[in-house]
Amino acid sequence: MNRRTFLQLSGLTAAGAALAGCKSANEKLIPYLIPPDEGVTPGRANYYASSCRFCPAGCGILVRVSEGRAKKIEGNPEHPVNRGKLCARGQAVLQELYHPDRVPQPLKRSGPRGSGAFTKISWEEALDLLTGKLKTLQQQKAAAGLALITPELRGTLSELTTRFIRSFGSPNHLSYELLSPDWLREAGRKSFGRPDLPWYDVAETRYLLSFGADFVESHLSPVQYGRAFGKMRQGRDTVRGHFTYVGGRMSLTAASADRWMPAKPGSEGSLALGMARIILEESLYDKAGLAMNGLSPEKLLPGLKKYDLARVAEETGLAQRAITEVAREFSATRPALAMAGETIAFQSNGRESVRAIQLLNVLVGNLNQAGGIYPDNGSPDGPTNSFDDLLSLTEKMRKEWIQIALIHGDPVHLIPPATGFQDALSKVPFIVSFSSLLDDTALQADLILPDHAALESWGDVIPVAGTRDKAIGLMQPVVNPVFDTRQYSEVLLTLAHELGGAMKAAFPYETYLDMLKAEMKKRVGPVGSRDFEATWVGLLQKGGLFTTGVHEGKSYRWAAGAAVPEPAKPRFAGDEKEFPLHLSVYPSTAFYDGRGASLPWLQQLPDPMTTVV
């Protein structure tokens, strides 16, 4: 073979090899070793609308689920509270679902209380144990020996809980929320004759005056008010809104203000009344608005005489010139809006201080006006308890009148130890916790019936405040339960059916979902209930029931005979000379009232404002 022939054959061989490589490969169907769940398409994500219950704001969420696992949470653009936005706590709800320390199944105490010694038992054994003890109370005609302690509930879950304890025959339902806005309700009842929570039209106001209301971090509905604040400052074509913050701590909200007035703690009510006196004496008030509320300078000024500029400046620690400037700016810039926050309300003179701030809104005529203040969205409230109710139940436990305590939440952590609640609870013979983690309350329990995570649960979430529209968000399970847990509401239904009699008759539902659908059917009205199954699917897809224009016929008006607010001098523990500084306590941006303290994302979240040096 000569060189030419060799090269020709080499070229043909290479070409043949290349053509052979272009041939279609044999296709084979290789089955899954572990097939995916029914309805799951590998590589394709599904999105489910639900609601966040990590704080009372009740934002709507969209959960991305891929291959049966929840991957990411974002805000629901359809929900009127948050319109697609979401705070860090809402994002961290995902970690509640997959938390490695979740209680995987019912536990029965096997050691001393607080030792953390528990034995795993089945649901059948756990429910038989609890049902037997409840039946014993019934047989002994001692229904008042049952206590049910929950957070502040709203919607169908509130109805279920209230109906359960009443049908059992016990008056002992304590609904406790550490950061409950009851102070706003009580101030509204005394000033306006109605206990509605206010809705502040921050987006349309031109002058915002916040007395300790940290709406960027935690006040009422931070996502909604954060969006509204952004619109007030940069999102509209008209004049940029002005923001003044009154409070002793430089919070993230205070840092966003044009002017910060670091008033002494507890003196904010005096500042508001001092400003009110300036507005009245200089005739800067809204005459029509004042007359509409049945008020006049002649009626108000006698009660404001002692709040002269010199006294107010001394009590607040602020310059007289600054007080006068803010009073004039607030009254001259319309619409103007004054807000009161938790750090004001939780002082010893808090309620009257909040009423003094509400009086400023009356003076500038912003009640029921754009850029002002409206009654809340008309959503039904669950039963709430006063601090006296808490002390009353504590006394009953201390006297050993309570034999069984069913606890949903972590009151051992949230309720101040000064009340004696923790010591009194230790005297209750049988404690049941529905916690999904071994928190402070669960460690004291004799039986733990772990609740589902929020992303495994059915429910409705009614926002506590933050929207002028009526909003009822829906929760739906986006994944199958990770552990052998059961929803708190399902456990109550099971107990009611097992106890029989009036208890069973009070709950004509097989499941909590049946009860939820029945309640929603009432809310959608006759049009939506004609083909309710189709309506129900639409509500789940949208994330809830949202109705606009619910404020017609509802308005604020200063109550006839309501006295001029008169905040007393604030009381603090310790001698003022020996302890000249005040400890400022405030809700955490990340943990809120502590319910997010176990989630790693929130633990790693840096404090947006710090005074550490």
The verdict on 428 and 444 lying in the same domain is: yes
> Looking at residues 295-320, what average pLDDT do you find?
94
At residue 562 the predicted structure's pLDDT band, cuts being 50, 70 and 90, is confident
pLDDT of the residue at 586:
87
Give me the domain span that covers residue 125.
107-178+382-452+482-547
User: Which neighbouring-strand residues pair with 199?
Assistant: 374
- pLDDT confidence bin for 299, thresholds 50/70/90: very high
Cis upstream peptide for 335 (omega within 30°): yes
Residues 115 and 202 in one domain: no
- Dihedral Cα 262, 266, 270, 275, nearest 10 deg: 30
Residue 413: count other Cβ atoms within 10 Å of its Cβ: 15
pLDDT digits (tens, 9 = 90+) for 322-343: 999 999 999 999 999 999 998 8
Structural domain count of the chain: 2
> Both 283 and 158 in a single domain?
no
The reply to whether 204 and 348 lie within a common domain is yes
Task: Give the integer Cα–Cα distance in Å for 93 and 86.
Answer: 11
pLDDT value, residue 469: 74
> Is 15's pLDDT higher than 80?
no
Residues 208 and 119 both lie in one domain: no
pLDDT at 440: 95
**Nearest partner of 303 among 267, 330, 277, 331, judged by Cα:** 277
3-state secondary structure of 72: strand
Q: Which residue type does 260 have?
A: W
- Among 94-108, 289-303, 480-494, which stretch is predicted with the lowest mean pLDDT? 289-303
Task: Please report which helix (H) or strand (E) contains residue 43, including its range.
Answer: none
Strands (E), 402-523: 404-407, 430-433, 447-448, 459-461, 470-475
Instruction: Look at residues 532, 547, 562 and tell me which one is the last residue of a structural domain.
Output: 547
Please report whether residue 204 resides in a domain: yes
Amino acid present at 505: A
Domain of 387: which CATH number?
A: 3.40.50.740
**Alpha-carbon distances of 482 from 43, 68, 104, 105, 125, rounded to whole Å:** 21, 11, 8, 11, 21
User: 596 lies in a domain?
Assistant: no
Domain co-membership, 218 together with 314: yes
What percent of the chain lies above the pLDDT cut of 90?
68
Q: What is the mean pLDDT of the chain?
A: 90
CA distances from 102 to 62, 451, 598 (A): 23, 10, 10
| Phi, psi torsion values for 68, nearest 5 degrees | 80, 5
Domain boundary among 375, 399, 416: 375
What is the rounded CA–CA span in Å between residue 385 and residue 228?
31
The tokens 């169908």 sit on which residue?
156
pLDDT at 285 over 90: yes
Same domain, 346 and 204: yes
Q: Which residues contact 312 (CB under 8 A, 6 or more apart)?
A: 270, 271, 273, 274, 318, 323
Long-range contacts, stretch 160-166, CB < 8 angstroms, 24+ apart = 160/489, 160/492, 160/493, 160/507, 160/512, 160/515, 161/382, 161/408, 161/492, 162/382, 162/383, 163/506, 163/507, 164/492, 164/495, 164/496, 164/503, 164/506, 164/507
CATH number at residue 279: 3.40.228.10
Estimate the crossing angle of helix 309-316 against helix 268-281, to 10 degrees. 160
Are residues 386 and 371 located together in one domain of the fold? no
The span from the CA of 396 to the CA of 375, in Å, is 37
Tokens representing 94?
């995902």
Instruction: For residue 425, count CB atoms less than 10 angstroms from its CB and return exposed for 0-12, middle for 13-18, buried for 19 or more.
Output: buried
In a domain, 311, yes or no: yes
Say whether both 429 and 301 belong to one domain: no
Contact call for residues 64 and 70 (beta carbons, < 8 A): yes
Q: How far apart are CA 113 and CA 277, in angstroms?
A: 58
Q: Which two tokens stand for residue 67?
A: 């291959």
Residue 370 sits at φ, ψ, to 5 deg, of: -60, 135
Domain membership of residue 8 (yes or no) is: no
Q: Tokens in use for 8?
A: 């020709």
pLDDT at 569: 86
Give the end of a domain, one of 332, 350, 375: 375
Is there a domain that residue 492 lies in? yes
- Are 444 and 528 part of one and the same domain? yes
User: What is the C-alpha separation between 58 and 592, in angstroms, rounded?
Assistant: 14
User: Strand 373-375 relative to strand 60-66: parallel, antiparallel, unpaired?
Assistant: unpaired
Q: What percent of the chain has pLDDT over 70?
A: 92
Largest CA distance in the chain: 125
According to the 3-state scheme, what is the secondary structure of 407-425?
ECCCHHHHCCHHHCHHHHH
Q: Which of 252-261, 405-414, 582-591 has the lowest mean pLDDT?
A: 582-591
d(CA 464, CA 477) in angstroms, rounded, equals 22
Residue 63 lies in a domain: no
Residue, of 27 and 449, whose pLDDT is higher:
449
333 assigned to some structural domain = yes
Residues 293 and 401 in one domain: no
- A 10 A CB-CB count for 443 gives 18
Highest mean pLDDT among 45-59, 443-457, 535-549: 443-457
Q: What is the DSSP code (8-state) at residue 203?
A: G
Q: What pLDDT, on the 0 to 100 scale, is given for residue 552?
A: 56
207 and 145 in one domain? Answer: no
Encode pLDDT of 107-151 as tens digits. Answer: 999 999 999 999 999 999 999 999 999 999 999 999 999 999 999
Query: Which tens digit of pLDDT belongs to each residue from 164-186?
Result: 999 999 999 999 988 888 888 88
Instruction: Tell me if 530 is assigned to some domain.
Output: yes
